[in-house]
Amino acid sequence: MTSKSANTTLSLSLMTLVFFILGMLTCLNDLLAPHLKEYFSLNYAQTMLIQFCFFLTYAVMSLPMSKVVERIGYKFGVVLGLLIAALGCLLFVPAAVMHLYSFFLFGLFVLATGIVCLQVTANTYVIVLGEARYAPSRLTFVQAMNSVGTTLVPLVFGRMIVGGTVIEPYTIIAICLVLFSFALCFYPFPKIAIPPMPMDEPRSGSIWRNGYLLLGALAIFLYVGAEVSTGTILVNYLNLPQIANLPRPDAAGYLAFFWGGALVGRLIGSAVLRIMRPQSVIAFNCFVNISLISVSLWFAGHVAMWAILGMGLFNSIMFPTIFAIALDAVPRLKNQAAGLLCTAIAGGAIIPELQGLLADRIGLQYSFVLLIFCYLYIFYFVMIKPNKKFKELAGKVIYVTPS
């Protein structure tokens, strides 16, 4: 193995740790939501404000963060994201001491800003760090580490957070983030120099003329919303008498099955995506998830419980694959396009809130009908073929300062 190849491999390995952190930090919300619901006596719509504030940050900060990454480069984009996320974790200490729900939401906004920076940087970096034809497989593989984080968090912190403690776990995580960010400062990531755009070419607006990219952004919006909504409401869903009647601390442990399914699916999917069309794989997974939701609506008890838990397995490859498919429609301007796709992660703010409102009116179990429409659109997106009109794109690549 050449020195350059070894450096690339190690860099991808470090990116897997970044995705582990992304999964860990995001999954903490699934534990925080049932705890704060009981702690502040919230209804479902109020509880979903946790995800609303967290994922709304993607809509507000993704494009600004993509501009920041253009200036400081991939490496320091990751470092900055880790430090901002650490600050957000530490804000949970005064929030818990002052007993203020609004301060918890502010801390989530800061924490999510760091995660947005990491998402914009890491997703794009993994895609460009290697052969383009293997980008969906590569991104799915490193995001398997994301699922490791989401699987381990309920097992390590589930009873602690749902049981009523937030200061200790968030403080420990903040310290780890700071230490990791300092370590990355000294690692020589491969320099990926993207040619500067000629001065006579337009710098803005061209991504908005790419119809297929916009359809992909909507697919990301709906997928993330469906996944986040399921994970956030899962503990309370398993607590329902007609489903599993599990005490909330016990139900928190079952999150590991949901996110563990995503881990297994991504490991399998990274291999499957090398031999099958990504669009076909996503279409099949959408069909299965629609079927599982339908089962959960018609049945009760453990059948309904395992139907929802099983969705994690088929959610697994959707985000990285949709992301890579949509980004493939943009041969240039990839940082702006990635910023737009990360903005669409704001679906994690809107869809859970809509399901929360629906749950308060028709019941938590039947509120899952909303997610069927999300998967139907994703199925539509991957089945259409991007023609010349869809892929129309003006302008040249935007310069990004190498790490």
pLDDT of the residue at 11: 80
pLDDT of the residue at 4: 61
pLDDT of the residue at 6: 62
Q: For the whole model, what pTM was predicted?
A: 0.77
- Dist. CA 94–CA 158, nearest whole Å: 21
Length of the chain (residues):
403
* CB proximity list for 349: less than 8 A, separation 6 or greater: 51, 52, 53, 54, 55, 56, 58, 59, 225
Domain range annotation of the chain: 3-383
- Dist. CA 321–CA 15, nearest whole Å: 17
**CA distances (Å), origin 339, targets 125, 127, 131, 208:** 13, 14, 21, 12
Contact of 189 with 74, CB cutoff 8 Å: yes
pLDDT of the residue at 133: 72
Structure-token pair, residue 230? 């399921």
The pair phi, psi for residue 372, each rounded to 5°, is -60, -40
pLDDT of the residue at 121: 85
DSSP 201: S
Sign of CA dihedral 152, 282, 10, 332: negative
pLDDT of the residue at 3: 57
Identify the CATH class of 3-383: mainly alpha
pLDDT tens digits, the chain, 403 residues: what are they? 555 666 677 888 888 888 899 889 988 999 999 988 888 889 999 999 999 999 898 888 887 888 888 888 888 999 999 999 999 999 999 998 898 999 999 999 999 999 989 988 887 788 777 777 777 677 777 777 887 888 888 888 888 888 778 888 899 999 999 999 999 888 887 776 543 433 334 444 467 777 888 999 999 999 999 999 999 999 999 999 999 999 988 898 898 899 889 888 888 887 888 888 889 999 999 999 999 999 999 999 999 999 999 999 999 889 888 988 888 777 667 667 877 887 888 899 999 999 999 999 999 999 999 999 999 999 999 998 665 444 443 333 322 322 2
238-244 CB contacts, 8 Å cutoff, 24+ apart = 238/305, 239/34, 240/364, 240/365, 242/300, 242/301, 242/304, 242/365, 243/300, 243/301, 243/304, 243/305, 243/365, 244/301, 244/302, 244/305
Q: Among 359, 366, 262, which residue's Cα sits nearest to residue 310?
A: 262
pLDDT of the residue at 87: 97
Q: Tell me whether residue 101 is exposed, middle or buried, using C-beta atoms within 10 angstroms of its C-beta: 0 to 12, 13 to 18, 19 or more.
A: middle
DSSP element (H, E) containing 155: helix 144-162
Q: Tell me whether residue 42 is exposed, middle or buried, using C-beta atoms within 10 angstroms of its C-beta: 0 to 12, 13 to 18, 19 or more.
A: middle
pLDDT of the residue at 363: 94
Structure-token pair, residue 330? 């943009």
Side chain identity, residue 143: Q
**CA distances (Å), origin 210, targets 162, 214, 217, 263:** 44, 7, 11, 32
